[in-house]
Structure 1
Amino acid sequence: MGNSSSRGRSKGQQTTLTFKWSIDGFSSLLDKGEGWTYSRVFEIMGHNWYLKLNPRDKKSGGSDEYVSLSLQLASSSVKHGTVVEASFKLLIYDQSYGNHSQHQVSHSFQTASTSSGASCMISLRKLKQHPSKFIVNNSCVFGVEFIKVTTLKANTMSEILFVQKTSIFNEATTYTWDIEDFSALKKFDSPEFEVGGYRWCIGIYPSGDGNHLTLDLSMKKTNDLPDNSANLVEFTLSIKDQEAGNHRKGTGRSQFTNDARSWGWTKFISLEDFKDSSNGYLVKNKCCIEAEIAIVGSSKIE
């Protein structure tokens, strides 16, 4: 069952490279039911490939049957640290009129994913309809036309994150910032304070739309934190309700690095709610902001 052919690119010509896969006795393949059948491995554009065919495929949740065709890069052509970018057409040939069923694909073939990630599908009912232009003398022809293949160096970064159940310094540290005259506030950052050998501060300032307050936590001094490392910090920022204890809180779990030293909320609270004395956040122009900080892990880029 099956025969194959390919046509190459002669020197100086820009000819599309094609692999054709003719399957004789196609009805016998259909009788074998659902499952993938693989072509031989063929070489085109310096890489080894193969086609795979499922003659009785089904879409998720459906009962209709389809003939599916997919391209894969052979493992012998998967090189560590490289990506093969390919543009190609998957084809089911119309042997009578040339109106082929085709699907154009662009895909990145990598070590972890060598499948095209897309299939050319045609309804089995359409394929078999009488008189069939796809099945002639019990033979069906499939193929792939390569448009462009480029091999690139993989640009991959990986991170290992280690998380602990509790703070690496046994318990969270709480810092309270009492602002005695909010309307006269000139510096929108709190005094610096230390947690876990690092210097921190709380920031409160108008948001970009001018109708909210932004509240964030910043790591001011990274000490010996390497550029490829980060601290996983679990933190809660609160604007205290000085009347009823219904504090406005935001909790985050973020990684602080040399390049990302601040995390928080750009619209933590509306100015209207903040200044409404009945909420207890701003009382006689005084407010209280609290930060609870725990370093619960670390990460490293490899």
Structure 2
Amino acid sequence: MGNSSSRGRSNPRQGHGSKVAPSSPAGEQTMFKWSIDGFSSLLDKGAGWTYSRVFEALGQNWCLKLNPKDKKSGDDKEYVSLRLELANSSVRPDTVVNASFKLLIYDQSFGNHSEHEVSHSFQTASTSSGISCMISLRKLKKQSPKFLLSNCCVFGVEFLKVTTSKANTTSETLFVQKASIFNEAKTYTWDIDDFFAMKNPGYSPEFEVGGYKWNIIMYPSRDGNHLSLYLKLKKTNDLPKDTANLVELTLYIKDQETGKHRKGTGRCQFSKNSRTWGWTKLISLEDFKDSANGFLVKTKCCVVAEVAIVGSSKME
């Protein structure tokens, strides 16, 4: 919920529906007030967003949206939630609108409005302010302050500053190949005779998949309680700067007794600046060293990598 502050005793209920506050001295619209008559009827419709009409302010098109029965995470109370949204058609896709504004819920008798000041960068891909001016439904219904008067509530937004800038956007196109004999997974098995004599981190001998050299890396995680397992691309000389390879990857520690291996599986992109992927906490060291689990038999363990290059991507 926003902080309350005195805003005078003007009556915002003159007329019905949506209306725009008087223009600023400079002639630019900076405020919008939204009166909702029959507020109890809106409550009867339950949770969900209701939108104001689109209005213009400081050169952009906006709308307010209201959820009369919003919820907070881990809270069973109902809240009235107000947000600002930039109209999709208002800006070019490569433009960011940076706005500072106040969201308001008006006290219609004493001027002790509930307000919340927000700064947000709006883009067509992310149009909502994301941050709400919230007030509990129970407080809104109280007699003082009079947020609800004669079954009418008044909401609004006051713009403090709006600027535009060019979006600094990087895009990626991912090309996924059809399954074929040319991108079938290759399996590499790393037999470790003495786990306790292995360096930290331990590197497997290199192996080749898809024309690239790889290693498996194994070491205790940073918390000292788990075993980490990664696949590392050794060299990227043949990989152009703005491209990456999509790799379908499975790493697992073999259960040498029952075949219940501990696995990590994913599709990861390897590039010049991202040459290592894997799992920091693949298995706890306690489970790994427990001889009953079959992962470590005396001093021996076995790690397997299944690797297939299944696509590529290009940055633009």
TM-score (norm 1): 0.70
Kindly indicate whether the alpha-carbon contact (under 8 Å) linking 1:215 and 1:265 is maintained by their aligned counterparts in 2: yes
1:213 and 2:227 aligned: yes
How far 1:200 moved relative to its partner? 0.6
| Structure-2 separation of matches of 1:141 and 1:294 | 60
Kindly indicate whether the alpha-carbon contact (under 8 Å) linking 2:204 and 2:216 is maintained by their aligned counterparts in 1: yes
Kindly indicate whether the alpha-carbon contact (under 8 Å) linking 2:203 and 2:218 is maintained by their aligned counterparts in 1: yes
1:190 and 2:190 aligned: no
How far 1:280 moved relative to its partner? 4.2
1:6 and 2:19 aligned: no
Instruction: Label 1:173 to 1:102 Cα distance change in 2 as closer, same or farther (>3 A).
Output: same
- Aligned twin of 1:14: none
| Structure-1 separation of matches of 2:21 and 2:57 | 11
2:174 to 149, 161, 168: 161
| Structure-2 separation of matches of 1:85 and 1:149 | 6
- Aligned twin of 2:164: 151
1:79 to 66, 87, 92: 92
- Aligned twin of 1:300: 314
How far 1:251 moved relative to its partner? 2.6
1:258 and 2:272 aligned: yes
Q: What amino acid does structure 2 have at the position aligned with 1:193?
A: F
| Structure-2 separation of matches of 1:155 and 1:113 | 14
Instruction: Label 1:218 to 1:66 Cα distance change in 2 as closer, same or farther (>3 A).
Output: closer
| Structure-1 separation of matches of 2:308 and 2:173 | 19
The higher radius of gyration belongs to: 1
| Structure-2 separation of matches of 1:241 and 1:82 | 54
Structure-to-structure mapping, 1:28-177, within 5 angstroms: 38=52, 41-44=55-58, 47-52=59-64, 59=70, 71-74=84-87, 77-117=90-130, 143-164=156-177, 166=179, 169-177=182-190
Q: What amino acid does structure 2 have at the position aligned with 1:19?
A: M
Task: Structure 2 unaligned segments of length 5 or more: list them.
Answer: 1-15, 72-77
Kindly indicate whether the alpha-carbon contact (under 8 Å) linking 2:185 and 2:307 is maintained by their aligned counterparts in 1: yes
| Structure-1 separation of matches of 2:133 and 2:290 | 62
| Structure-2 separation of matches of 1:278 and 1:162 | 44
| Structure-2 separation of matches of 1:66 and 1:238 | 48
- Give the share of equivalent positions with the same residue, in percent: 58
- Aligned twin of 1:268: 282
1:291 and 2:305 aligned: yes
| Structure-2 separation of matches of 1:214 and 1:67 | 47
| Structure-2 separation of matches of 1:128 and 1:3 | 25
TM-score (norm 2): 0.68
Instruction: Label 1:40 to 1:255 Cα distance change in 2 as closer, same or farther (>3 A).
Output: closer
Instruction: Label 1:19 to 1:127 Cα distance change in 2 as closer, same or farther (>3 A).
Output: farther
How far 1:198 moved relative to its partner? 0.8
1:179 and 2:195 aligned: no
Structural RMSD (CA): 4.4
Number of residue-to-residue matches in the alignment: 286
Task: Structure 1 unaligned segments of length 5 or more: list them.
Answer: 11-16
How far 1:194 moved relative to its partner? 0.6
Q: What amino acid does structure 2 have at the position aligned with 1:189?
A: Y
Kindly indicate whether the alpha-carbon contact (under 8 Å) linking 1:159 and 1:301 is maintained by their aligned counterparts in 2: yes
| Structure-2 separation of matches of 1:245 and 1:179 | 19
- Aligned twin of 2:259: 246
Instruction: Label 1:203 to 1:247 Cα distance change in 2 as closer, same or farther (>3 A).
Output: farther
Residue 202 of structure 2: SS of its match in structure 1? coil
1:19 and 2:31 aligned: yes
How far 1:197 moved relative to its partner? 0.8
| Structure-1 separation of matches of 2:225 and 2:51 | 63
| Structure-2 separation of matches of 1:58 and 1:71 | 17
Kindly indicate whether the alpha-carbon contact (under 8 Å) linking 2:61 and 2:86 is maintained by their aligned counterparts in 1: yes
